[in-house]
Amino acid sequence: MTGTTVAMNGKAKKGGIAKAKKFDFKPVNHAEFAEKGMALYRAPSLLQPHRAREAILDAHEGRIPPMLGYYMGLSSPPLAKVVAQLGYDLVWIDWEHASTNVETMTQMVHDVQFFSEGRSHAIVRVPGHDHAAIGFALDAGASIVVPQVDTVEQARHIVSAAKFGAIRNGTRSAPPARFMPGLSDKPVDPSKTLHECVNDQAAIIIQIETLQAIQNLDEILTECGEYIDSVWLGSLDARVSMGLSGMGGAEPEWLEAVALFESTLTKHNQAVSGFALGTPEVKAMLSRGKSFLMVAADFVSIVGNGLQDLASSRTDFKQQSQVGIYKRIDV
């Protein structure tokens, strides 16, 4: 390597502009995606993070369709076991806003990976930028979503906490009881160490949730873009940070911020992710340019279906006396 180029089997940067990512793993047959789905990208052990970095890049560059995800906002291992069997490409486990501890988060990750037999990949939104929390989620075998990334200094810290190897400024501690010798420590690429491979398996998705973050995104991707696999615009938080209300709007300052966000992503050829819920027209608008989409959510299904079922039941079951409804048989 020369000059300012830094690489980790990922997206090298030189002169501030990101080059294409490259992975040394055995290539997948993209024509099999319709049949096998994300099982094409599973790791040698279901306790490891799957090849999510590679899958996101393939979706971004159109080799496979956009990956479809299920958002779990409820802290519930039994529900995770059910969702894992539905066939979603990704299952998002929200550790930021749910009443979840480390053990429950770990159990839910294992439930997703094992009950889906590797067909669904677990992604954990960690609660902030804490070094230990990032390690807990990755040790469980998930990729990570990191909220509220505002500055390049925060991005550097996140990457450092997520990667093994001081040679790459990584400060993640190797977990001896997670990738156990002879059981779960087989590398994807036998020519590399397990920890080199895992660095290239687990994805880092950052959430841009303030106007400051949008304005700093170019610097963030220039400095850390080789390690960041997808960017998520948190529209609600960003709008709140700007003194605006609601999820959508056409205020000039908001449209200007979104235009800057999208321009920066194009400059760095960066994959994008986000929600795509609502009517077909809304889904089409929200999915524009995104390589993975959250298309279902537990709170939407439970609350929406629950309210609809309750309303219809109020109509179906009228007030009436139940006395004498059943026929009496004298014995």
The bridge status of strand 143-146 relative to strand 204-208 is parallel
Kindly state the DSSP code that residue 94 receives in the 8-state scheme.
Answer: E
Structure tokens at 173: 């501690």
Q: Do 168 and 190 form a contact (C-beta atoms < 8 A)?
A: no
CA angle 59, 11, 294 (to 5 degrees): 30
State how far the Cα of 242 lies from the Cα of 300, in Å rounded to an integer: 27
Characterize the bridge pairing of strands 17-18 and 13-14: antiparallel
Token pair recorded at residue 52: 């999510």
Q: Torsion-angle region of residue 93: left (phi > 0), alpha (psi -120 to 50) or beta?
A: beta
Q: In whole angstroms, give the CA distance from residue 88 to residue 301.
A: 15
Pick the CATH number of 30-311 from 3.30.70.890, 3.60.20.10, 3.40.50.360, 3.20.20.60: 3.20.20.60
Q: Which of 136, 180, 188 is nearest to 162 (CA)?
A: 136
Pull the structure tokens for residue 246: 């609601």
pLDDT number for residue 21: 67
Angle 59-154-165 from CA coordinates, rounded to 5°: 75
User: What's the whole-model pTM score?
Assistant: 0.89
User: Can you give the pLDDT of all 331 residues of the chain as single tens digits?
Assistant: 233 333 334 444 443 444 456 677 888 999 999 999 999 999 999 999 999 999 999 999 999 999 999 999 999 999 999 999 999 999 999 999 998 999 999 999 999 999 999 999 999 999 999 999 999 999 999 999 999 999 999 999 999 999 999 877 899 999 988 888 999 999 999 999 999 999 999 999 999 999 999 999 999 999 999 999 999 999 999 999 999 987 778 999 999 999 999 999 999 999 999 999 988 998 999 999 999 999 999 989 888 889 999 999 999 999 999 999 999 998 8
Q: How many CA atoms lie within 13 A of 132 on its CB side?
A: 2
| CA proximity to 43, closest of 199, 228, 227 | 199
- The 10 Å CB-count burial string (b at 16+, else e) for 279-311 is eeeeeeebbeebbbbbbbbbeeeeeeeeeeeee
Give, to the nearest 10 degrees, the angle between helix 152-162 and helix 211-224.
50
User: What is the CA angle 260-265-268, rounded to 5?
Assistant: 125
What pLDDT sits at residue 14?
40
Amino acid letter for position 223? E
Domain ranges, ordered by start, for the chain: 30-311
Looking at residue 20, its pLDDT comes to 54
pLDDT at 27: 87
